[in-house]
């Protein structure tokens, strides 16, 4: 019988802290019971921008629900990964009850911090209550000529995490012999950065309609600056939890239950987490039989051996797909506004200080920030894995009606179902679909 909070059984949870340390009791229970319960295939799912256990559990409950019917004969076990991320509460999630804050945001977008988001920031950055209160006040009051002070507070929030200084920016591509530098998002002129975010948000909300576009106040982009600064901290954390945490647990599972086939699944930053878990696998472990990414919030060049625009640089995960005894499947959708517009803009800010939306002020006919930035700064969940030789590409219907490759990278255009959601995130979290559950089964050859 399934647990009351879950739609499937057997189901386990693995809780990790920000440093990748796992709850020992949960891990030991999984290791002890997975063989005892006769599990042959273990699906391990890592959430993205969820703030608490209940939100993550709701995602897992909805996503896992159709699987027992789809693979009635398979002996499947399920794991929900819980890691300390956060989600701004004004971001509506398709197929989940909308919070009052989300409904208010849809009706009248505003930059002010609501109480739920303040609480999430306090949990994510403990000990920074005074800074968070100052940030909230400035977003409410929008004082003239004080964007620089706002930028200083945002940097103070995310850089000075209790426990000592730590590198904030987690690069997805690395140049040979070039030291990793701090992103412009934390060093550039705040007014310029906020102005770029404000224009990008205005373009998303106008739907690309020139008649609906007007140059906004830079303060309109201030909350997005805070959001992206927070996400960079979560991006780094996702890599840490994957490599130091989940990868080690999968290795321990391989030692104690070598016959269990493991299938890693990740949404958003959870896609980055399960991908970095490949780097944390002990040498020789081949129990990971598939990795499936939904709307992955990391560079589409992460697995590339060489970048198209820089022969001396490659992806931080180059070659890691070869550690999978099966395919790396990447589902993406152009309806994902978070990854199609905001992500590449924020990623570009990690590299240079040149403005990229100056043309918008002269008229926005044909203006597409995503198209301008996506080729170089695109996300996995917007256009799939890029610059990896031999990558297979197909539509969702073809993937479900055919047989997926047994190895290598596979891009699946999932826009047929991943299409619902309002600005600024668009369809980023619209992943609870029977068809996507079928993709996981197909990728892992679970029957």
Q: What is the dihedral of CA 81, 82, 85, 91, to 10 degrees?
A: 80
State how beta strands 313-315 and 173-175 pair: antiparallel
Report pLDDT for 207: 61
Residue 166 pLDDT grade (very low, low, confident, very high; cuts 50, 70, 90): very low
pLDDT in tens, 210-234: 554 456 788 988 988 888 788 777 8
Give 224's DSSP letter. Answer: H
Rg of the chain in Å (alpha carbons):
21
**Taking each helix axis from N to C terminus, what angle separates 369-377 and 190-205, rounded to the nearest 10 degrees?**
120
- Average pLDDT, whole number, for the chain? 82
Using CA atoms, how far apart are residues 317 and 312, in angstroms rounded to an integer? 15
pLDDT in tens, 62-119: 999 999 999 999 999 999 999 988 766 555 544 444 444 344 444 445 557 888 888 8
Is residue 155 classed as helix, strand or coil in its secondary structure? helix
| This prediction's pTM | 0.82
Length of the chain: 447
pLDDT in tens, 242-290: 999 999 999 999 999 999 999 999 999 999 999 999 999 999 999 999 9
pLDDT in tens, 15-34: 999 889 999 999 999 999 99
Is the pLDDT score of 177 beyond 90?
A: no
Burial 281-294 (b: 16+ CB within 10 A, else e): beeebebbbbbbbb
Report pLDDT for 388: 97
Residue 236 pLDDT grade (very low, low, confident, very high; cuts 50, 70, 90): confident
Is the pLDDT score of 356 beyond 60?
A: no
Interior angle at CA 19, CA 291 and CA 126, nearest 5: 125
Is the pLDDT score of 361 beyond 60?
A: no
């Amino acid at each position: 019988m399934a647990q009351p909070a879950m739609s499937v059984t057997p189901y386990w949870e693995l809780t990790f802290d920000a440093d990748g340390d796992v709850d020992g009791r949960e891990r030991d229970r999984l290791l002890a019971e997975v063989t005892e319960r006769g599990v042959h295939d273990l699906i391990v799912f890592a959430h993205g921008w969820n703030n608490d256990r209940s939100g993550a559990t709701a995602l897992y409950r909805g996503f896992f629900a159709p699987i027992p019917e789809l693979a009635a004969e398979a002996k499947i076990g399920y794991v929900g990964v819980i890691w300390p991320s956060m989600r701004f509460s004004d971001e509506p999630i398709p197929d989940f009850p909308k919070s009052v804050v989300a409904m208010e945001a849809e009706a009248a977008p505003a930059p002010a911090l609501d109480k739920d988001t303040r609480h999430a920031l306090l949990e994510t950055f403990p000990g920074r209550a005074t800074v968070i209160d100052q940030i909230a006040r400035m977003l409410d009051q929008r004082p003239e000529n004080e964007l620089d002070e706002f930028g200083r507070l945002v940097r103070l929030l995310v850089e000075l995490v209790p426990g000592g200084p730590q590198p904030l920016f987690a690069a997805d591509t690395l140049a040979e012999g070039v030291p990793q530098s701090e992103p412009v998002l934390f060093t550039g002129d705040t007014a310029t950065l906020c102005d770029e975010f404000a224009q990008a948000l205005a373009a998303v909300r106008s739907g690309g309609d020139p008649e609906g576009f007007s140059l906004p106040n830079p303060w309109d982009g201030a909350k997005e600056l805070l959001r992206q600064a927070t996400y960079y901290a979560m991006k780094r954390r996702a890599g840490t939890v994957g490599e130091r945490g989940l990868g080690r647990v999968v290795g321990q599972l391989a030692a104690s239950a070598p016959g269990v086939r493991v299938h890693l699944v990740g949404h958003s930053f959870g896609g980055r987490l399960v991908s970095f878990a490949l780097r944390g696998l002990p040498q020789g472990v081949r129990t990971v039989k598939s990795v499936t990414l939904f709307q992955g919030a990391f560079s589409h060049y992460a697995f590339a051996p060489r970048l198209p625009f820089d022969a001396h640089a490659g992806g931080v995960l180059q070659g890691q797909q070869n550690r999978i005894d099966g395919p790396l499947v990447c589902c993406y959708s152009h309806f994902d506004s978070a990854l199609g517009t905001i992500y590449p803009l924020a990623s570009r800010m990690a590299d240079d200080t040149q403005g990229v939306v100056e043309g918008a002020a002269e008229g926005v006919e044909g203006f597409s920030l995503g198209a301008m930035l996506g080729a170089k700064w695109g996300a996995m969940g917007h256009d799939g894995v890029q610059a990896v030789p031999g990558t297979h590409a197909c539509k969702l219907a073809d993937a479900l009606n055919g047989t997926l490759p047994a190895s290598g990278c596979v891009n699946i255009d999932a826009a047929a179902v991943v299409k619902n959601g309002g600005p600024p995130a668009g369809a980023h979290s619209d992943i609870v679909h029977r068809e996507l559950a079928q993709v996981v089964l197909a990728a892992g050859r679970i029957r």
